[in-house]
Each structure stands twice: as structure tokens, then as C-alpha cells.
């Protein structure tokens, strides 16, 4: 179901991206036009950040932060990306980024991942990098560290600056990795985006300089040509270093100056590339792009020259505030139209992009079904009304209040920000040559931007944003038609009568403020391990509570109820999963979701609704000011859920999008083929489209309402709030509810995964994807997990970690055949049979060979090729992550929630570190020998089409599996 969650919201933007450029003479006119409506205010950089510049020109920023305790986050940003590449260098910036993880001055033989694993750093999770059009960034996070970690981390980043070692063998191998990455991240969405971008601006440099480069230029890269690009652009004056950690700032600064003080650029600084050519006077035009596996979308974009790089910060900040406000107002209006029904839309948004070459504003609409004409007309009409009349005073004020509430929450939670979050924000601001603002200063800047804002001024912002070339229309649909048709319809719609002026809605009063007579606590117990209080109210409500100083002004709230999957019929599991994801859209009995947002405009009320093996759970992160409202929201949904049918007309389209997405992803296809072969009746299998397309809100209500309104509730509150205050708020909400039934919910005999004791040939399946991408999944059946076998389970977790590192070394570093191989164990207690899964994505023609590589690595590990060093490399990042997690309220909420019913989760979290630490080398070897000795179940997913399925290979003999034990 992950596919649906991602698709329903995010796919709206996934099909289209926009790029552009600008002549300099247009910059003054744009700045003058904007400055006429924006007051000038000076922003003050965060005084808690130490800023500096070395004589070489390298800038740095240092901040002390203590979440996690003794944590450290390092960032190095290089102010260069793929935009600066010459024609034969396309993809070189990305290749250089990869080379930084292979061999450097201080690690000439490689092994950087093992070096940092010994310090608790996991490759990919804690040590990573990214290349964009204009920047290349490197990140390194330590959950906990000391002077050694600081020295190693800064030393590696210095090596990134001027100590990357390029060898022909290394480049040859990394070339394959980059090509594999391009394939794994490509697909129909990327192809459609490129087609739209080329239509919008065929001669723009950004269109021709996407970071992935081309297969030909990557294939032509050599050690010498990469080194030339690296020496030309990796210079201290192009670099920004960020250090955020729980160490004295003076000491950090001294180490930064010592480590980077001798870095100097090579040769003369190069000139930056000139922009391409874009026709900013281009008029209305359109294109249709065929993409059978993507959701249908319509985009209308306007492109204009870029802002000056030295634009006054107060002007830029205010402009961004104003643009955000009117886009949100449009979103609120279109949401109201959609909720009214028969709009022909799943959703519509206004988005934009700014770069050194262009500024864009785009309307993106996702219609219901593939008939896009009606959806486009409705979204266009709403946009034209906003352009014609501008927003109302009430709309502006509502958005200002809502945004101010978000900023106020940021101010109150400033002390709880983690080192990695702070470091990311600081790097982005400094690379953009903007001041790093403390939350309170950001709120001041916002207040300054909206101080004199009125409807006339906001309308001028809308007019300025919706100007430039075009609109340039792009329809992405299963089949392409006449490319002139969209612009003909757009022009026809534009000449139709404008909608009547928007009518403000009356204020909505939140009606769920009283749930009865406040309840009373009848029992209070202290739970010594891990240390919290459990209170029982007269109505049977259980409250787990812990006041912590871990994160200032932060509170974690959980409401657990029902028996989850265990009380659902087998054929209802997928429907219930979908229902939990769409639940909030159904609103409450007395308010729709849209009305809730208006009534609770100072509270972020949408919450997470999880369906677990033996529970349902609401989760929310909040603060002391908002806790009262959040408790009321939870109590309202647990007593008066709406299950409104307004989403029913959109469900078929959303479900169709889900199937298209699943069908276009090779790993999803492999997982489905595995279940279809080993357990055709598994509840987790996606039903046939015909069955899913009949789902409606009434079915969600049938599956979910009983637990919501009848099951006993266990509430958990962790964070910065006193016990007496928490009890008072709970007493007035959950404590006031009528008593609920017995704690034991009716449990249906469940069907859990069990691997049949028989042989399996290689499972081959296809998917509707691009021809250069496939997936292999190799599965080793394990045992059904239970607490008494936890130590063996953790031994297998370490086996998977060792396997993962060895597979990455072989398949990625040595062979260069795949980008991100992965080995994991999946072992839920008392449920599905445990599995050890190894997965790779690669060229379809390489899959059989890679599956053989995976099997070979597994065989080597099964025969005892495991060292203490390899186990430490797998174990220490897990322990570091666990130590950091325990310093956050979310860890305590997870350990406490549901503990009144079962102590298993609490015990597992509390005992994880000592038990994992205690697992010995012999135990890991024994687990590997026992469970990897069997041949795996091999699943290969390749693209549909002629010759897409390679012939069966002798590399994968038929596997025989015994019973789980």
C-alpha cells in the first residue's frame, strides 16, 4: 500500500518539472515591480551560529546543538553542479560525487564505509551525497561521537575538497554504478518530465544538463577527464562547511581552521557557464505526452526571467511569503470545489520553481480518469477567478493566521531541533547566499511581510506570478493525441464568462469541546523499567505518561485501540489499509475535513492512522499549546467518525493510479509474484482491479468503525508537560467518554504467511516499465519470530547486515552493476514467517548474473566467512541509531504505547541494545550456516515486451525448502 500513499498526493507533481533562463535586462524591471508592493525589512542572522571565512574563501558555519546527545552533523556544499558541465562532461559532477566515497588521500585503498561503520555511521543512511543542477552536497551524521569521530569526519570532507583519488579501475567500476542509478531512478515519470521540459524550452541549458548526464558521456569518462573537472571546480571559494554538534564552538572552529586552512584552488578560477536561450515572449502552446503507466495530469506553466542573485533579502523573503499565501488560497478554493463533487478532479495545485535561468509558476491538475478536459476547465476557471478578482481579506487573514501558527510552533520547538535538521537548513541557506535565521527571526520576517498586505497588494502578487511566456500546456496521458487540442480548449475556456466573485464562507466553530463530565483517575502505578507512569480512569481509559526534558515544547501523542489485523476478515485487509490512509478525508459527523481545517486553523490536526498486527493507532507530534485541541480531535474521531462519501467519486481514479504505479515498479512486481507463487491467498496481496475498484467509503466504515467507536482505548503522552496538566486535559476528553467494552476484541483466525515445504523454480515476472530496468529478489525463509527466540532473531539481523555490506562491496564497488543493493530481515512476532530478503535493481540482462552473485555471497557467509570486524561494521550503526532514538520522545512513546495490554514491545525496545551487543561471532556464524545454507527463492522482474524475458539460467537451480524452525 506504500504505492498508494505516495501516489495519491505526490504523483500530482511527479509528471512535470519545469526549467528556464533569463536575460539580465529583465531583472531590473522585475525587481522594481516587486519592490513596489513589498516593504523592506532587514533580516538578522542567527546569533547562535558562528560564521566565518578562511583566507582561501571557504565559508563555514558552526552551531552547538545537543539532540541527539553527543551527536554531530557535518555538511560540505560545493557551489557547482551539472549546469557547469561542458558537452563531453555531462554527468561528471555526479561521477565526482560518487568517487568521493571510493578512494581518497587518507583512504587510498577504499574502505570508507567500513571505517565510518566502526564509528556507528551507516553508509547511505548517515553518509551520503547529492548532485543537482547547481550544487553538490555531502552529508555525514554521527548519532554519537567524540574527538576521533570529529577528526575522521572533517578529514574525509577535506579529502572531498582536494583529495579524491581518481584511478581508471575505480572510474570504470563507478561508471557502472552511476548508470545503474540512472536506471533505478528513471522510468516513465522521468521520460515524461524530460519530454515536457524539452517542449517548454528546447534550447535551455538546464534541459540539456540534467545531473544524471547521458550514457554516452558517462561511458566516455576517464580518470584524467574527471580529475580535470574536479580540479577546475572543487575550490575553497566554492565551498561551504557546516558543523552542528554537541561540542564547544571554539574547539570546533579551531579544528575547522586547522583541517581546511591549507586547502587552495588549482589554477585560475573558471568562468561560469552562460545560460541557454529561452523564448520568454512565447505565446500559448501545448503538447501531449503518452505515458500509459502514469496518472493523467495537465500542467499550465508560465516562465519568466530569473531574479537577480543579489536580490535584497527582505524583498525576496516577503515575495516568497506572498506567493505562498496566494497558492494556499487557491488550494483551499479548489479543495472546496472538489469536495462539492462532480469537479472531474482528484486535485490541483499551484507550484513554482526558481533557478539561475528562470522563474516558473505552474497550475498542475490531476483529473479523475483519463478524460482530462473537464478537470482542466474547472481548475482553469478557479485560477482565472483568482487572477480576475484577487483573494479576499478574509482569505488572506485566514492564511496568515495558519502560517503564523506554524511559525509559532517552530519558535516553541527550536530547542528540540536535531543536528541533522539544523545542518541541512544551514547549508541550503548559505549555498543560496541567504542568512541563516533563528525561528523567532523567521517569524519576525513573516510579520514584516504581511504587515501592510491587503487584497489589492495580494492581487498584484498574483498578477506578477502568473505572467511570462505561455501558458505552456502539457497533457500527460496514456495515449497522446492532437497536441493543438489542449491550447484550443484553454483558449476557449479563457474566453468564457468568468466565475462570479468568490464568496467568503462564514466562520466554523469547533463543536467537539465537551465530551461529558471530566473523568477521574482511580489508579496510578509507576512502571520502573523503562520509567513512566500508568494511570487508569474510572471509565477504563488507560493513560501512559512520561514528562521528559528531551525535546523542549515537544509532545508525542498516541491512541491505541482494537485488535488491528487480527479482527479483520482476510479479504478486508487491503480495504482497511486503504481506509486508514483516506480516513481523515472523511471528516467527522458534524464537520467535513475542509470545515475542520477552517475551525482548527491554528492547529495541524491531520494525524497518522496505523493498522498493526494486533492494534489500530492514532499518532501525532504536537506541543503543550496544541495538546488540548489534538486530544479533542482524537476523541472526536474515536466517537463520531464521518466516513463521508465525498471521496467516493475520486476513489476509482485513485485506485487506478495505484495499479499503474505498482505495475510500473519492478520490485513491486517481484514482491507480488513471490506472494502469488508461495501463498496465493495471502491477505497482503493486492486484489484484482475489478475487486478494488468497487471499494467505497461504506466498506471502510464497515471495517474500521467498530474498533473506532467500541474498543477500549490506551492513551500515551510523552514530552514537555507536567503530569497534572496532562491528566486534566485527558480527563476532560477521553476520561469523560462512556466506558467501553472488554479489552479483548473478537479475533478472527488469521492467515499468516508460511512458505510451503516444496521446491520452487526461478519465478519470472514482468512489469510495464522502461526497457533498461529490472529487479531481482532472493528470499530465504526463516522462522516465525517470538520473544523467546529474540537472540537468534538479532543474530540473523547481524547476518543480514554483514550480507548487505558484502553484497554492496561485490555488486556495486567491484562489479559496478547495481546502485543500491539491500539485504534485510522481516520478522514480526507471532505472525508471518520471517524472511531474509536480498534485492537488487539493474539492467534486465544483468539480473541472472547478479542473482548468482547474491547466491555466491550468501554461500560464502553461510560457510563461515564472517569476521568480528564485519559484525561490528553491521552492529555499531544499529547501536548508534538506537542510542540516538532513545533521546527522543518518539522512542518513549513507542515503548509505552500498548504496554498495558502487552509488555512485549516495551521489553524489545528496552532490551535491544544489551541483547544485540551480547550476540557473539559464533552465534552469527551459526545462524548464517543454518538459514543461508538453503537455496533461496529467486524472483526476477523484467520489462514487458519482445525479448524482455531472458531464457532460464542454470545459475539458479530449483530450490528446496524445509519447514520453518
H/E run at residue 37: none
Q: How far apart are CA 475 and CA 197, in angstroms?
A: 12
Among 66-80, 301-315, 736-750, 869-883, the least confident range: 736-750
Best CA proximity match to 90, nearest among 260, 207, 237 = 207
Which CA distances in Å does 768 have to 653, 669, 774? 19, 9, 11
Q: Give 575-640 as a 3 state SS string.
A: HHHHHHHHHHHHCECCCCHHHHHHHCCCCCCCCEEEECCCCEEEEEEECCCCHHHHHHHHHHHCCC
Q: Confidence band (pLDDT; 50, 70, 90) for 749?
A: low
Instruction: Please indicate whether residue 749 or residue 478 has the higher confidence score (pLDDT).
Output: 478
| Contacts (Cβ under 8 Å, ≥6 apart) of 624 | 412, 553, 555, 720, 721, 725
Q: What is the mean pLDDT of residues 908-930?
A: 97
H/E run at residue 916: helix 904-918
DSSP single-letter state for residue 15: T
Q: How far apart are CA 481 and CA 17, in angstroms?
A: 21
Extract the C-alpha cell encoding 475. 497533457
Among 66-70, 712-716, 903-907, the least confident range: 66-70
Report DSSP letters for 524-569, one per residue.
EEEETTTTEEEEEETTS-EEEEEE-SSSTT-EEEEEEES-GGGGS-
What does pLDDT average to over the chain?
Answer: 90
DSSP single-letter state for residue 572: G
Paired with 129 in beta bridges are 138
Q: How far apart are CA 427 and CA 312, in angstroms?
A: 19
pLDDT at residue 6, as a whole number: 36
Q: What is the mean pLDDT of residues 853-862?
A: 97
Q: Cα 325 to chain center, whole Å?
A: 24
pLDDT tens-digit profile of 210-226? 888 988 999 999 999 99
The owner of cell 475520486 is 650
pLDDT at residue 36, as a whole number: 42
pLDDT greater than 50 at residue 548: yes
Q: What is the mean pLDDT of residues 84-105?
A: 95
pLDDT at residue 600, as a whole number: 92
pLDDT at residue 407, as a whole number: 92
Extract the C-alpha cell encoding 860. 560464502
Q: How far apart are CA 153 and CA 484, in angstroms?
A: 56
| Contacts (Cβ under 8 Å, ≥6 apart) of 694 | none
pLDDT at residue 178, as a whole number: 86
Q: Confidence band (pLDDT; 50, 70, 90) for 41?
A: low
Q: How far apart are CA 742 and CA 740, in angstroms?
A: 7
Give the number of other CB atoms < 10 A from CB of residue 389.
16
pLDDT greater than 60 at residue 481: yes
pLDDT greater than 80 at residue 923: yes
**What pTM does this model have?**
0.87
Q: How far apart are CA 505 and CA 523, in angstroms?
A: 47
Answer yes or no: are the C-beta atoms of 398 and 325 closer than 8 Å: no
Q: Which domains does the chain have, with CATH numbers?
A: 21-39+275-494 (3.30.830.10), 57-260 (3.30.830.10), 521-648+696-736 (3.30.830.10), 759-960 (3.30.830.10)
Helix axes 868-886, 904-918, angle to 10 degrees: 140
Q: What is the mean pLDDT of residues 398-412?
A: 90
Q: Confidence band (pLDDT; 50, 70, 90) for 490?
A: very high
Report DSSP letters for 832-873, one per residue.
SPPEEEEEEEE-GGGHHHHHHHHHHHHHHHHTT---HHHHHH
Cα atoms in the Cβ-side hemisphere of radius 13 Å centred on 64: 10
pLDDT at residue 231, as a whole number: 97
pLDDT at residue 769, as a whole number: 76
pLDDT at residue 745, as a whole number: 66
H/E run at residue 217: helix 215-219
Cα atoms in the Cβ-side hemisphere of radius 13 Å centred on 342: 0
pLDDT greater than 90 at residue 191: no
Q: What is the mean pLDDT of residues 716-730?
A: 98
Percent of the chain clearing pLDDT 70 (strictly above): 92
pLDDT tens-digit profile of 406-424? 898 889 888 889 999 999 9
Answer yes or no: are the C-beta atoms of 605 and 596 closer than 8 Å: yes
572-590: b (≥16 Cβ within 10 Å) or e: bbbbbbbbbbbbbbbbbee
pLDDT greater than 50 at residue 964: no
pLDDT greater than 90 at residue 405: no
Q: What is the mean pLDDT of residues 728-743?
A: 93
Q: Burial-class residue 248 by CB neighbours within 10 Å (0-12, 13-18, 19+).
A: exposed
Q: How far apart are CA 543 and CA 541, in angstroms?
A: 7
pLDDT tens-digit profile of 652-677? 988 888 888 888 889 999 999 999 99
pLDDT at residue 67, as a whole number: 87
pLDDT at residue 746, as a whole number: 66
Instruction: Please indicate whether residue 189 or residue 753 has the higher confidence score (pLDDT).
Output: 753
Q: How far apart are CA 588 and CA 709, in angstroms?
A: 13
pLDDT greater than 50 at residue 140: yes
pLDDT at residue 149, as a whole number: 93
pLDDT tens-digit profile of 274-312? 999 999 999 999 999 998 888 899 999 999 999 888 888
H/E run at residue 404: helix 393-412
Q: What is the mean pLDDT of residues 398-406?
A: 91
Best CA proximity match to 20, nearest among 303, 424, 380 = 303
Q: What is the mean pLDDT of residues 138-155?
A: 93
Q: Cα 631 to chain center, whole Å?
A: 27
pLDDT at residue 4, as a whole number: 32
pLDDT at residue 955, as a whole number: 32
pLDDT greater than 70 at residue 748: no
Q: How far apart are CA 755 and CA 316, in angstroms?
A: 60
Paired with 618 in beta bridges are 559, 609
Instruction: Please indicate whether residue 941 or residue 664 has the higher confidence score (pLDDT).
Output: 941
Extract the C-alpha cell encoding 686. 493486492
pLDDT at residue 249, as a whole number: 96
Amino acid at each position: 500500500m506504500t504505492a498508494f500513499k505516495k501516489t495519491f498526493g505526490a504523483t500530482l507533481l511527479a509528471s512535470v518539472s519545469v526549467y528556464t533562463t533569463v536575460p539580465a535586462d529583465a531583472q531590473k524591471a522585475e525587481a522594481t515591480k516587486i519592490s513596489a508592493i513589498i516593504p523592506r525589512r532587514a533580516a538578522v542572522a542567527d546569533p547562535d551560529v558562528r560564521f566565518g571565512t578562511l583566507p582561501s574563501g571557504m565559508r563555514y558555519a558552526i552551531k552547538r546543538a545537543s539532540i541527539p546527545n553527543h551527536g554531530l552533523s557535518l555538511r560540505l556544499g560545493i557551489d557547482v553542479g551539472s549546469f557547469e558541465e561542458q558537452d563531453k562532461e555531462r554527468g561528471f559532477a555526479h561521477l565526482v560525487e560518487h568517487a568521493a566515497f571510493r578512494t581518497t588521500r587518507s583512504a587510498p585503498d577504499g574502505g570508507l564505509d567500513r571505517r565510518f561503520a566502526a564509528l556507528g555511521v551507516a553508509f547511505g543512511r548517515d553518509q551520503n551525497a547529492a548532485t543537482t543542477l547547481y550544487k553538490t552536497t555531502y552529508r555525514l551524521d554521527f548519532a554519537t561521537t567524540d574527538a576521533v569521530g570529529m577528526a575522521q569526519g572533517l578529514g574525509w570532507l577535506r579529502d572531498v575538497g582536494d583529495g579524491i583519488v581518481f584511478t581508471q579501475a575505480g572510474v570504470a567500476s563507478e561508471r557502472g554504478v552511476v548508470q545503474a542509478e540512472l536506471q533505478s531512478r528513471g522510468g516513465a515519470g522521468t521520460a515524461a518530465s524530460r519530454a515536457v521540459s524539452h517542449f517548454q524550452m528546447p534550447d535551455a541549458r538546464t534541459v540539456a544538463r540534467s545531473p544524471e548526464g547521458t550514457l554516452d558521456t558517462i561511458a566516455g569518462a576517464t580518470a584524467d577527464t574527471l580529475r580535470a573537472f574536479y580540479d577546475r571546480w572543487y575550490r575553497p571559494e566554492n565551498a561551504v562547511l557546516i558543523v552542528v554538534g554537541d561540542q564547544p564552538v571554539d574547539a570546533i572552529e579551531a579544528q575547522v581552521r586547522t583541517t581546511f586552512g591549507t586547502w587552495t584552488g588549482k589554477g585560475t578560477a573558471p568562468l561560469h557557464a552562460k545560460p541557454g536561450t529561452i523564448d520568454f515572449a512565447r505565446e500559448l502552446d501545448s503538447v501531449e505526452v503518452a505515458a500509459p503507466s502514469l496518472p493523467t495530469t495537465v500542467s499550465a506553466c508560465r516562465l519568466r526571467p530569473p531574479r537577480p542573485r543579489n536580490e535584497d533579502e527582505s524583498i525576496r523573503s516577503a515575495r516568497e511569503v506572498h506567493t505562498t499565501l496566494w497558492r494556499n488560497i487557491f488550494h483551499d478554493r479548489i479543495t472546496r470545489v472538489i469536495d462539492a463533487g462532480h469537479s472531474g478532479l482528484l486535485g490541483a495545485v499551484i507550484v513554482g520553481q526558481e533557478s539561475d535561468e528562470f522563474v516558473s509558476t505552474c497550475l498542475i491538475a490531476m483529473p479523475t480518469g483519463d478524460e482530462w478536459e473537464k478537470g482542466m476547465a474547472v481548475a482553469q476557471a478557479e485560477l482565472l477567478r483568482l487572477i480576475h478578482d484577487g483573494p479576499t481579506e478574509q482569505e488572506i487573514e485566514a492564511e496568515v493566521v495558519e502560517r503564523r501558527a506554524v511559525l509559532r510552533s517552530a519558535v516553541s520547538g527550536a530547542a528540540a531541533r536535531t543536528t541533522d535538521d539544523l545542518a541541512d537548513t544551514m547549508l541550503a541557506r548559505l549555498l543560496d547566499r541567504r542568512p541563516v535565521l533563528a525561528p523567532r527571526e523567521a517569524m519576525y520576517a513573516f510579520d514584516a511581510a504581511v504587515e501592510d498586505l491587503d487584497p489589492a497588494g495580494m492581487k498584484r502578487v498574483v498578477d506578477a506570478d502568473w505572467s511570462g511566456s505561455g501558458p505552456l500546456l502539457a497533457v500527460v496521458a496514456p495515449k497522446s493525441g492532437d497536441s493543438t487540442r489542449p491550447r484550443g480548449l484553454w483558449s476557449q475556456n479563457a474566453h468564457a464568462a468568468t466565475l462570479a466573485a468568490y464568496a467568503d464562507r462564514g466562520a466554523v466553530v469547533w463543536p467537539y469541546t465537551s465530551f461529558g463530565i471530566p473523568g477521574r483517575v482511580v489508579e496510578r502505578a509507576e512502571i520502573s523499567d523503562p520509567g513512566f507512569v500508568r494511570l487508569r480512569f474510572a471509565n477504563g481509559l488507560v493513560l501512559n505518561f512520561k514528562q521528559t526534558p528531551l525535546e523542549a515544547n515537544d509532545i508525542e501523542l498516541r491512541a491505541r485501540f482494537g485488535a488491528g489485523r487480527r479482527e479483520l476478515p482476510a479479504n478486508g485487509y487491503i480495504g482497511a489499509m486503504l481506509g486508514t490512509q483516506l480516513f481523515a478525508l472523511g471528516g467527522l459527523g458534524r464537520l467535513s475535513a475542509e470545515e475542520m481545517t477552517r475551525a482548527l486553523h491554528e492547529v495541524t490536526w491531520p494525524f497518522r492512522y496505523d493498522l498493526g498486527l494486533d492494534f489500530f493507532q492514532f499518532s501525532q507530534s504536537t506541543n503543550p499549546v496544541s495538546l488540548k485541541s489534538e486530544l479533542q480531535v482524537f476523541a472526536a474521531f474515536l466517537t463520531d467518525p464521518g466516513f463521508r462519501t465525498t471521496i467516493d467519486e475520486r476513489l476509482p481514479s485513485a485506485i487506478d493510479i495505484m495499479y499503474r504505479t505498482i505495475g510500473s515498479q519492478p520490485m513491486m512486481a517481484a514482491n507480488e509474484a513471490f506472494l502469488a507463487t508461495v501463498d496465493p491467498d495471502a491477505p497482503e496481496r493486492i486484489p484484482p482491479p475489478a475487486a478494488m475498484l468497487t471499494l467505497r467509503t461504506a466498506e471502510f466504515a464497515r471495517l474500521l468503525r467498530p474498533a473506532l467507536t467500541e474498543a477500549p482505548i490506551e492513551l500515551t503522552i510523552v514530552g514537555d508537560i507536567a503530569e497534572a496538566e496532562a491528566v486534566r486535559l485527558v480527563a476532560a476528553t477521553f476520561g469523560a467518554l462512556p466506558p467501553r467494552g472488554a479489552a479483548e476484541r473478537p479475533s478472527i483466525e488469521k492467515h499468516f504467511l508460511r512458505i510451503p515445504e516444496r521446491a520452487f523454480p526461478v519465478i519470472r515476472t514482468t512489469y510495464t516499465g522502461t526497457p533498461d530496468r529490472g529487479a531481482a529478489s532472493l528470499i530465504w525463509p526463516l522462522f516465525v519470530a517470538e520473544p523467546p527466540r529474540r537472540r537468534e532473531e538479532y543474530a540473523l539481523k547481524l547476518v543480514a547486515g554483514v550480507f548487505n555490506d558484502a553484497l554492496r562491496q561485490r555488486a556495486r564497488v567491484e562489479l559496478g552493476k547495481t546502485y543500491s543493493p539491500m539485504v534485510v530481515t522481516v520478522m514480526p512476532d507471532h505472525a508471518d514467517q520471517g524472511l531474509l530478503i536480498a534485492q537488487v535493481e539493474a539492467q534486465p540482462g544483468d539480473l541472472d548474473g547478479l542473482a548468482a552473485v547474491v547466491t555466491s555471497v550468501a554461500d560464502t557467509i553461510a560457510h563461515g566467512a564472517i569476521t568480528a570486524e564485519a559484525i561490528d561494521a553491521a552492529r555499531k550503526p544499529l547501536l548508534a541509531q538506537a542510542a540516538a532514538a532513545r533521546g527522543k520522545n518518539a522512542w518513549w512513546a513507542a515503548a509505552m504505547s500498548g504496554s498495558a495490554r502487552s509488555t512485549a514491545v516495551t521489553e524489545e525496545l528496552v532490551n535491544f541494545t544489551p541483547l544485540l551487543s551480547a550476540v557473539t561471532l559464533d552465534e552469527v556464524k551459526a545462524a548464517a550456516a543454518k538459514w543461508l545454507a538453503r537455496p533461496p527463492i529467486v524472483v526476477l522482474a523484467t520489462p514487458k515486451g519482445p525479448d524482455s524475458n531472458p531464457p532460464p539460467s542454470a545459475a539458479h537451480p530449483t530450490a528446496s525448502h524445509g519447514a520453518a524452525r
